[in-house]
Structure 1
Amino acid sequence: MRILFVVHQFRPEYATGTETVIFNVAKACQRAGHQVTVLTCSLGDPSAWAAAPEDGLRFTVVESLPIYAIPAALVSDPFALCKEADAAVKDIVLRFLSARNFDVAHIGHSMRMFSAIEAMREANLPYIVTLTDFFPLCYRVNLVRASGELCGGPHGGRACLSYCSPVNGEPSERFQRFRLLLAGAGARVACSDFVHRQYARSFSDLAFETLPHGVDALRAYSITARKREGEGIRFGFLGTLSAPKGVALLAEAFAAAELHDASLEIVGPAHGDVQTARAIEAIATVHPNITIRGPVSPDDIFDVISGFDVLCLPSQVPETFSLVLHQAFVCGVPALVSNLGAPAEIVERHGCGWTTPYADVAGWTQALRRVATDRALLEAAKSRVPLPLRLEEEGFFYEHFYRRAMRTQAMIPRVGTV
């Protein structure tokens, strides 16, 4: 098969959650003998890209994956709030598609890519959609209102208008455009039961599948744990150092716990959230058992996680999956997580860790103390860590979705433009 992956941002510029998921699936398809191409949006320095045959696109190759990128300057409506597509983007993508004979497309994320997807639909290319977050439901992405309150869903766009008041478009029209996009997909794949329920509630006329993201178990099993006997409990955070991820709350709670025989390692990029980075640095300056490490290569992730006794996910928004949680599972590491979203559901279902109120510093302090001082509690959680899906298994299931989309393309009624 000739497969086109469509994603809002990608390597070489970004390599966090959704980007890693799409990279993993694309590489699995490539190893299975399929021809794979990635279409994304470039937000960074154009010098990192080579010239592309198609006018207006950037191009590079990362680990044998050919990657084409639409310059972000051409995208006037990244959140898909306006009705009209970017004509320049649509024209570029139509030319890009006409020069190739793709069999199927896999939409990994539609932010910044809506005009490109409209061109893809106009070209009648079969496609599937993976729902890695709530962007089709929520232009703010996380189902969190402008006030900071959790949102129960868009209600056809009416809730968006009432609680978030977007100034650049009509939420009800946006909702209908995404309904058409989802209705035209050969498969709508949610990454967790939590995500599945949210979409099924808003689009009750559509069917959704659930397929968890896979992890590179073979790489994880090759890592020798860095923990040494006699060390205190080592808590760890791996992810973006941002306010929604709650990492400053975690640092504050750990400092307040005064665990002199335990440590906290914070690992990840700041991606422009200077306020959060400074808050963490200020706490670490006076607490030597808190260490901050910058971003690490995807190849080093399992080496980092294997050094943790407990993974901490203090998210302040409902996480839809958490790839790092499942990477920790394959390393046998339990987790302490906020009581929001998919990670909380998974941890509670298996008993492989603990949940704590998401905005409660005192609650996190108490939880960290409890885990650090009760080895039996920690060992019990370790014994219940589930085995996550492997990359090879995820790739197998997606190949099934691609073939089904191709078979049923002629049977899907044309539902209009988006």
Structure 2
Amino acid sequence: MRARAVEVLLVVHRFPPDSVGGTELYALRLAQHLADRGDGVTVLTYAQGNTREAVLREHQYQGIPVWRLSFDLNQTSNPILEEYDNPRVAGFLREALSARRPDLLHIAHFGYLSTSVLAVAKEIGIPAVVTLTDLWPICVTSRLVRSNDSLCTGPTDLGECVRCCTQMGPRGAPYARLARLVPTSVWRLMAGACGLPLVQSLPYLRWLDALATRHQVIRQRLLGAKAIFCPGEFVRQVLVRNGYPAHRIRHSPHGIEEPKRALRETPVGLAAKLRFGYVGPLARHKGAHLPVEAFASLGLDSQASLTYWGPVVGARASDSYGALVAERIAETKGANHEGPFPNETVGEIMARLDVLIVPSTWYENTPTVIYEALASGTPVVATDHGGMRELVDAYRGGWLFPRGDVRALASLMKRLVENRDLVRRAAAGIRRVPGFAAHFEEVALVYEQALSRESTP
């Protein structure tokens, strides 16, 4: 029996109901498990605001206390620096943690709130644990995809990193035009001089200096944490290749809550049509256009269907990527878009599919949607790289196709339509996916070690 309950401040970039993604759901499940075992847990997250000063709003979500810290990301003289080292967040935390000091911080994502949470925790003497759910520590966009859409291996070319910063939404807008006009080779030369006092007086080069030191500052702060969890072995290896000690990053798959096969009205592969599906936002980095383009090229609507579930990203703009994909779905015979869905209905959605398509164009970590599909007995067609390949291979869960290759995806879909035995055999051979409870037991043990006097990073 534990001596006492633990007070945990759980930090994450976004949190339901404002945003529901894999990382947000991980944070929610972690908070629920902590509460269920009698610990105190409060979630600290970001909410979009219109003031320079950080404003706190407190409320509860599903019984979990939530602190939503809002401020305008654009009201800053150095958007690159504040992306990973935010003095507004640091100032709030110093005051908040002094008044209501938790026993431990657990950071599920540093986005918007930055690594200032780690710096303040160390300053005050509160141990911290980190879970890395994507590639944010080594990439300003979290995805390691260059501005020309090619895959990247890490922040070794500052000139390329500058161009990627233009993808930071409004924060990247002030220097987007300059980044495009100045050749990459010039950015590389400027990087060598950006630390000089004279250069520091120029705003654009202060931003460049902040970008040049980003990787080093983040790495130093992360390695001060008591433990670093990573749910995917692929992402763990990428971090190791970019200077993180292998022994400091714990591979710990978090799986899903209570993995069990859904009850199906029609077994996999036995419906009148083979039912393909896409579950997630209609976003470019998710490759949302690929399934409908592949499906439309086949002309097999009498033998198969394609259904999308998920929100349209950038729905307010008629020419946004998401809106264009939605339009393409609407005009494609046999395809339809069901729109957003409550997360608790994911199991029901999977039970209505024969094959889930996960065509992301970035590496991914360990996509929760793949875990959900495999747990329901639904095989997966996924991009042949990163965390998608890792899960499909580990759980014998389906098939892979080359990144962004519409023809290869169409060929694979056609083969499955024409040979449904492949789908049925794949569904029958899926290995059991891990449950979240096993991951939580490991987290709880690390908490105990972190809170002991003998624990050292």
The answer to whether TM tops 0.5 is yes
Query: 1:5-404 maps to which residues of 2 (within 5 A)?
Result: 5-43=10-48, 56-73=55-72, 81=81, 85-114=85-114, 115-155=116-156, 159-162=157-160, 164-165=162-163, 166=165, 168-170=207-209, 171-205=211-245, 207-217=248-258, 220-221=260-261, 223-227=262-266, 230-259=271-300, 260-272=302-314, 274=317, 275-404=320-449
Q: 1:186, 1:409 within 8 Å by CA — same for their partners in 2?
A: no
SS at 2:55 equivalent: coil
What displacement does 1:99 show? 1.8
* Percent identity of equivalent pairs: 27
One-letter code aligned to 2:120: A
Could you list the per-position Cα deviations for residues 306-335 of structure 1 after superposition, in whole angstroms to 9, with x for gaps in the alignment? 111111001111111100000111101110
SS class of match (2:229):
strand
Structure 1: distance between partners of 2:80 and 2:67: 21
C-alpha distance 86-375 of structure 1, shift in aligned 2 (>3 A): closer
Deviations, residues 51-107 of structure 1 (Å, cap 9, x unaligned)? xxxx83112211001110110326757975359944333222111111223111111
Letter in 2 for 1:58: R
Unaligned runs of 5+ residues in structure 1 are: 47-54, 413-418
* Contact 1:79–1:112 (CA under 8 A) maintained in structure 2: no
Cα distance in 1 between the residues matched to 2:453 and 2:237: 25
Amino acid of the structure 2 residue aligned with 1:316:
T
Query: Is the CA contact (8 Å cut-off) linking 2:292 and 2:332 kept in structure 1?
Result: no
2:195 aligns with: none
CA contact 2:381–2:399 (8 Å) conserved in 1: yes
Moved more, 108-117 or 175-184: 108-117
- Determine helix, strand or coil for the equivalent of 2:240: helix
Please report the TM-score for the alignment, with normalisation by the length of structure 2. Answer: 0.81
Q: Larger RCO: Structure 1 or Structure 2 (Cα < 8 Å, ≥ 6 residues apart)?
A: 1
One-letter amino acid matched to 2:98: S
Deviation string for 1:337-390 (max 9, x for gaps)? 011211112213443210001111111110110111111211221122121111
Aligned residue in 2 for 1:52: none
Q: 1:214 to 1:75 in 2, by over 3 A?
A: farther
In 2, are the aligned partners of 1:185 and 1:405 still within 8 Å (CA)? Answer: no
CA deviation map 1:115-140 (0-9, x unaligned)? 34432332221111111000011002
Question: How many residues are paired up?
Answer: 400
* Distance in 2 separating the partners of 1:215 and 1:84: 29
- Matched residues in 1 for 2:456 and 2:397: separation? 44
Structure 2 CA distance for partners of 1:169 and 1:8, relative to 1, 3 Å: farther
CA deviation after TM superposition for structure 1 residue 163, in Å: 5.0
- Aligned counterparts of 1:258 and 1:335: Cα–Cα separation in 2: 21
Unaligned runs of 5+ in 2: 1-5, 166-203
CA contact (8 A) 1:9 1:42 kept: yes
Shift, 1:283, TM fit: 2.5
RMSD: 2.5
Instruction: Identify the residue that residue 49 of structure 1 maps to in structure 2.
Output: none
Contact 1:213 1:389 in 2 (8 A): yes
In the superposition, relative to structure 1, how do residues 4 and 215 fare at CA in structure 2: closer, same or farther (>3 Å)?
Answer: same
Q: Which secondary structure does the structure 2 equivalent of 1:225 belong to?
A: coil
Distance apart, 1:23 and its partner CA: 0.6
Structure 1 CA distance, aligned partners of 2:86 and 2:330? 48
Q: Rg bigger for which structure?
A: 2
In 1: Cα distance, 2:223 partner to 2:232 partner? 20
> Residues of 1 paired with 2:446 and 2:217: CA distance?
23
Does the 8 Å CA contact 2:46/2:68 hold for their aligned counterparts? yes
Deviation, structure 1 residue 188: 1.0
Q: Is the 8 A contact 2:277 2:355 kept in 1?
A: yes
Does the 8 Å contact 2:330/2:336 carry over to 1? no
Contact map agreement 2:11 2:44 (CA 8 A) in 1: yes
Q: Match for 1:300: what amino acid? A: T
Q: Structure 1 residues 85, 358: CA separation in 2 closer, same or farther (over 3 Å shift)?
A: closer
8 Å CA contact 1:82, 1:169 repeated in 2: no
The verdict on how the C-alpha distance between 1:176 and 1:45 changes in structure 2, with shifts beyond 3 A counting, is closer
Cα distance in 2 between the residues matched to 1:408 and 1:31: 26
Q: Distance in 2 between matches of 1:409 and 1:79?
A: 39
Distance 1:251 1:72, change over 3 A: farther
Conserved 8 A contact 2:133-2:365: yes
Distance across 1 between alignment mates of 2:282 and 2:79:
23
SS at match of 1:382: helix
Aligned counterparts of 2:265 and 2:126: Cα–Cα separation in 1: 48
Task: Report the residue type matching 1:263 in the other structure.
Answer: S
| Whole-angstrom CA distance in 2 between matches of 1:351 and 1:35 | 39
